[in-house]
Amino acid sequence: MLYLSSFQFPDIEEEYDFMFRMKRTCYDTVYPFQILSKHGLRRLDFEPVTILYGGNGSGKTTALNVIAEKLGLQRDSLYNRSNFFEDYTRMCRVDTENKIPRESAIITSDDVFDFMLNLRSMNEGINQKREELFEEYQELKHKSFRMNSLEDYDQLKRVISARSKTQSKFVRANLADNVREHSNGESAFLYFGEKIKENALYLLDEPENSLSPAKQQELLKFLEDSARFFGCQFVIATHSPFLLSMRGAKIYDLDEEPVDVKRWTELKNVREYYEFFMSHESEF
């Protein structure tokens, strides 16, 4: 499915003209101006899966944030935003093939990390509650109790529960299920499965973070199926060779000046992986 058809960023002449007219010379940074234009990125034409490839500082994340801001996509985490961001996005132009679904969103590595931290925090709270319930069970089991009014009724029920159950059954009956029994990588993969629904546009910023090679390949299959069978469109910033190999993906190499479209096997990082493993081929 194609929702977003093309996106145009201001070129360097437009940027200089704007800054000259505004006479904003008191700022230390004019971000996001002069980031994408420096690499000659003027226009992106999209496929159901479009990938932005490049090293640190190439502008991958900036491009995703600009597109998300222009389209008004949902997002969870804050991002690097300057006083010039609205000025810049007003100068951008967007073409759509179909209406952008309301559920569309940008998902960043910060969102995934926050999700994992929240799970960890919840589990720590559950572990603490479990210890408290162990102590409560022993107290209720052996301490004498006398009901004096209806206000004591709830406590009476807990006393009866403690005296009629084993310690483990009492704890399980009064404790929420442990919400995470997964590694960080498994939790990160779980996040994408919960967040990405059918029939929507998703911008993904380095989704491979925290994922093992095996999990990256699982994510690859999930994204391929979501685009092919479930009406999703993806714009992905990544340098993962697994995600770069996605079938039918259009890849923009932001390390090139001007930015160019390439096959995944032509990309510098992928070639370095290939040459490294070939040099050690005899050891496999």
Q: What is the mean pLDDT of the chain?
A: 82
113-129 mean pLDDT: 56
- How large is the average pLDDT for residues 226-251? 96
pLDDT one-digit tens code per residue, 236-248: 999 999 999 999 9
Give the confidence band of 26 by pLDDT, cuts at 50, 70, 90: low
Does the N-terminal peptide bond of residue 10 adopt cis geometry, omega within 30 degrees of 0?
no
What pTM was computed for the model?
0.75
Here the tokens at position 4 are 């977003």
Q: Where are the domains of the chain?
A: 4-111+183-283, 119-174
Considering the domain delimited by 4-111+183-283, tell me its CATH architecture. Answer: 3-Layer(aba) Sandwich (3.40)
**What is residue 152's predicted lDDT score, i.e. its pLDDT?**
63
- Comparing 119 with 68, which gets the higher pLDDT? 68
pLDDT tens profile 274-283: 999 999 999 9
Q: What are phi and psi of 194, to 5 degrees?
A: -80, -35
Handedness of CA 157, 160, 165, 167 (dihedral sign): positive
Mean per-residue pLDDT for 54-61? 89
For residue 40, pLDDT beyond 80: yes
- Find the range with the poorest average confidence among 13-27, 101-115, 232-246: 13-27
136 compared with 194, residue with greater pLDDT: 194
Residue 82 pLDDT class (50, 70, 90 cuts): confident
Q: State the pLDDT confidence band at 257, using cuts at 50, 70 and 90.
A: confident
pLDDT digits (tens, 9 = 90+) for 172-185: 566 554 444 455 55
Give the model's pLDDT for residue 180. Answer: 47
Whether residue 95 has pLDDT greater than 60: yes
Give the largest CA-CA distance in the chain. Answer: 84
* Per-residue pLDDT band at 203 (split at 50, 70, 90): very high
Strands 233-237 and 250-253 turn out to be: unpaired
Average pLDDT over residues 34-44: 89
Look at residues 226, 165, 167, 145 and name the one whose alpha carbon lies nearest to residue 192. Answer: 226
- pLDDT for res 192: 86
Which of 203, 224, 220, 204 lies closest to 212 in space, CA to CA? 220
Instruction: Considering only residues 250 and 162, tell me which one the structure prediction assigns the higher pLDDT.
Output: 250
Q: State residue 249's pLDDT score.
A: 97
pLDDT exceeds cutoff 60 at 121: no
